[in-house]
Chains A and B, each alone.
Chain A
Amino acid sequence: MMEKIMEKEEEQTSAKKTKPMTMIQALRSAMDVMLERDSNVVVFGQDVGYFGGVFRCTEGLQQKYGTSRVFDTPISEGGIVGAAIGMGAYGLRPVVEIQFADYFYPACDQIVSEAARLRYRSAGQFISPLTIRMPCGGGIYGGQTHSQSPEAMFTHMCGVRTVMPSNPYDAKGLLISCIENDDPVIFLEPKRLYNGPFDGHHDKPVVPWSKHPMGEVPEGYYTVPLDSASIFCAGSDLTVLTYGTMVFVSEAAAKESGVDAEIIDLRSIWPLDLATIVASVKKTGRCVIVHEATRTSGFGAELTALVQEHCFYNLEAPIERVTGWDTPYPHAQEWAYFPGPGRIAAAFKRTMEA
């Protein structure tokens, strides 16, 4: 009993003690904390073992927890997820990495037909408590195979959760929540935010997370709840519904256009915190949806439908969507594709003038 109380106190102290972390360090810290706390947590994927991942998110974890808990896998996304499903059925909590979200397609059958439906089809006899991490989004000259934002594909599958943090604090707290959650979770990491908040002005030097309050991260265990959006900044002119990289780009657009925007960072894309969205749009009467993914059948379409369904009589202007174009993510023309602050500010202006 005494030990438990002491442990708890220690936990609270370490949860309170913070230090500046990049999103990469915050994600690594989340996996470190969970590997330490729960012997059923295992971490694997391509290059994640000895090397520590191409983005270094798992650096040092194999050294600390051994090769049977943190290890490399063959280049086979279907195999990584399929094996993780078997491990989950056994009772483990696998945290796997798909090296780029652009590479999840070979794992599609295992995610859609298996992980997402295992609890349902077995009436709860077997579950898939997997966390599938994958870096997403562009802005790093990754071309069409290292830049995609496929979140809408996951939200269309019933039975998986889709989460995307926008900063180190949320990244760690959400990843811990996902690992502890008994549902399969797609954890999308906006790679343009790994090292600093990016406002969309790609020609300016990178601002490191150490200079941003959201880069201040507790060292120990804490969680950020799933299914809960955060009001990134309060405002009264219009509501911005966004997530991931576009949170800071929207903030820059608001500053530059002088619009008092209420920016909602969805964090959990699906299931969604609809109450926060509806309350905000009812208050502002205007809504702009911003995401980096392609436009048609993107998650913005679902958000648009939900907002009109729940807030139609409060709307003062048509709902705007600012998104990537319906083209593959180009390489050299990356910044013409990217929905930067200029395009977002123009949408704000149209919405305010409507």
Chain B
Amino acid sequence: MKPKQAKSGSVNQTPPLHLHVPEPTGRPGQATDFSYLHLSPAGAVKRPPIDVLPTDTSDLTFALIRVLDEKGNAVGPWAPDLDQQTMRFGLRAMMKTRTFDSRMVIAQRQKKMSFYMQSLGEEAIGCAHAMALEDGDMCFPTYRQQSLLMVRDVSLVDMICQLLSNARDPLKGRQLPVMYSVREAGFFSISGNLATQFIQAVGWGMASAIKGDTKIASAWIGDGATAEADFDTGLTFAHVYRAPVILNVVNNQWAISTFQTIAGGEDTTFAARGVGCGIASLRVDGNDFLAVYAASKWAADRARNNLGPTLIEWVTYRAGPHSTSDDPTKYRPADDWACFPLADPITRLKDHLIKIGAWSEKEHEETQKELEAEIIAAQKEAELYGTLSSGYAPSPAEMFDDVYKDLPEHLRLQRQQLGI
């Protein structure tokens, strides 16, 4: 909206000021107008060399890198050279993430856990990204990157024990469900405070550079939390020290009930923030597994070759509620995801694989059944060690451990007062 022009000369004729509070383009009962997304056709966006000058990525931050077209073809300069087995693995990892999420949402409704957060619709981002990284690299995730874990060899039983806060919870009952920490899988402890991990990832990358290592860091943040100072601080430090880090902004359009324009996405993109800080930046279709893989690999290669950080805005849609405590029908159209133009990441990769003869409906169904059986078995085993409602919680005595490396006198006394 343009402010009304004042008529010539006189200050008195200036209209009163008014505050602009951005609104989403769709509210309950309406059809969202997704034209604000400014999509590029698949294959249309250039792929610069990895040593591109950050300023020369400006146009990429207002375009959208896509590989899979609507017919299931992989097209354009960003189409990665992935063998069929790798792509099938990726599809399976996405299906595993979604199946795991849906089982855990049910378990939460059964009061076996206090809380859950699913990543419905965003599975391609973590799965393809993790596949483009190497062992030893460290991700600093938010609470919606469980897909990173589904690619690594992480025990589902351990994950579910964390969710159930039971006696085998690797985090000893101290963290909300989904706030995993899996060091050996390159998955940093999730804070729960937003954005703090962004600058920490930059620090981790700086440390790797200080030691002359080859590992890189991958920082994660949502569109909403980019409004926190730690986001900008992360960009500044990453640029200043040319840190080997990938700066991922998952723009799933919604931060609980606030639309991405409230975080500053109106008439600009989150990717554009990177270029302003001197960082090579990309805006990528986050529901396109192949585009996610290609862009992640490009950024990882830059980082590993001392070419510095890359900011990637992943455009996607939070298909489910923010968490099990949220009801999105109160603030957005109920059928929004079905209308989202970037569609379902699982369907898109599945269609592509079928098209190139690397997958079939039958294999898809069988894989789905296998995954369900695997997750149900893991859940059953995890529940043997207790659920939040059944008891077998971690011992209250352990509550006092790990505050400091060694138990100080005052905590020993307090533990004694608790009667343990």
Contacts and interface: CB of A to CB of B under 8 A. Distances in A.
A69 B403 CA distance: 29
B233 A161 contact: no
B195 to A, nearest CB: 9
Contact of B402 (A82, A90, A120, A274): A120
Contacts of B196: 82, 109-110, 113-114
Contacts of A69: 210
A68 interface: yes
Contacts of A86: 140, 199-207, 217
B20 interface: no
B234 to A, nearest CB: 8
B200 A89 contact: yes
B193 A121 contact: no
Contact of B233 (A76, A89, A121, A125): A76
Contact of B193 (A114, A123, A227): A114
A122 interface: yes
Contact of B188 (A126, A181, A271): A126
Contacts, number: 140
Contact of A121 (B171, B201, B210, B408): B171
B175 interface: yes
Contacts of B404: 119, 159, 161, 183, 271
B206 A121 contact: no
Interface string B383-410: 0000000000000000000111100111
A99 to B, nearest CB: 16
Contacts of A161: 404
Given A74-B240, A86-B203, A127 B181 contact: no
A83 B206 contact: yes
Contacts of B209: 68
A88 to B, nearest CB: 8
B174 interface: yes
Given A121-B175, A159-B403, A183-B404, A92 B205 contact: no
B202 to A, nearest CB: 6
A78 interface: yes
A69 B170 CA distance: 35
Contacts of B207: 42, 86-87, 90-92
Interface string A304-332: 00000000000000000000000000000
Contacts of B229: 78, 106
Contacts of B323: none
Given A90-B208, A125-B181, A119 B402 contact: yes
B230 interface: yes
**Residue picked from B172, B175, B204, B217, most chain A C-beta under 10 Å:** B204
B236 interface: yes
A85 B200 contact: yes
A85 B204 CA distance: 8
A118 B233 contact: no
A235 interface: no
B367 interface: no
Given A86-B140, A106-B229, A121 B405 contact: no
Nearest to B205: A86
Interface string B247-271: 0000000000000000000000000
Interface in B214-261: 217, 229-230, 233-234, 236-237, 240
A84 interface: yes
A119 B237 contact: no
A112 B202 CA distance: 19
A122 B409 CA distance: 22
A208 interface: no
A61 interface: no
A121 B179 contact: yes
A205 interface: no
A271 B410 contact: yes
**Residue picked from B203, B208, B410, most chain A C-beta under 10 Å:** B203
A274 B200 contact: no
A174 interface: no
A222 to B, nearest CB: 21
Contacts of B205: 86
B183 interface: yes
B398 to A, nearest CB: 9
Interface in A86-120: 86-87, 89-92, 106, 109-110, 113-114, 118-120
A272 interface: yes
Interface string A41-73: 010000000000000000000000000110001
B191 interface: yes
Given A86-B140, A183-B405, A271-B410, A122 B183 contact: yes
Nearest to A114: B196
A83 B191 contact: no
A121 to B, nearest CB: 5
Interface in B145-199: 170-172, 174-175, 179, 181-183, 188-189, 191, 193, 196, 198-199
**Residue picked from A68, A106, A123, most chain B C-beta under 10 Å:** A123
Nearest to A112: B193
Contacts of B188: 89, 126
B226 to A, nearest CB: 15
A121 B189 contact: yes
B397 to A, nearest CB: 14
12 contacts: A78-B230, A79-B236, A83-B199, A86-B202, A89-B204, A119-B403, A119-B404, A120-B403, A121-B181, A122-B171, A126-B181, A271-B404
Listed from nearest, the 8 A-B pairs whose CB atoms lie closest are A86-B203, A83-B203, A82-B199, A90-B207, A86-B200, A122-B189, A86-B204, A79-B233
Interface of B: 138, 140, 170-172, 174-175, 179, 181-183, 188-189, 191, 193, 196, 198-211, 217, 229-230, 233-234, 236-237, 240, 402-405, 408-410
Given A42-B210, A90-B203, A110-B196, 6 more contacts: A68-B210, A82-B198, A121-B189, A123-B402, A125-B189, A227-B409
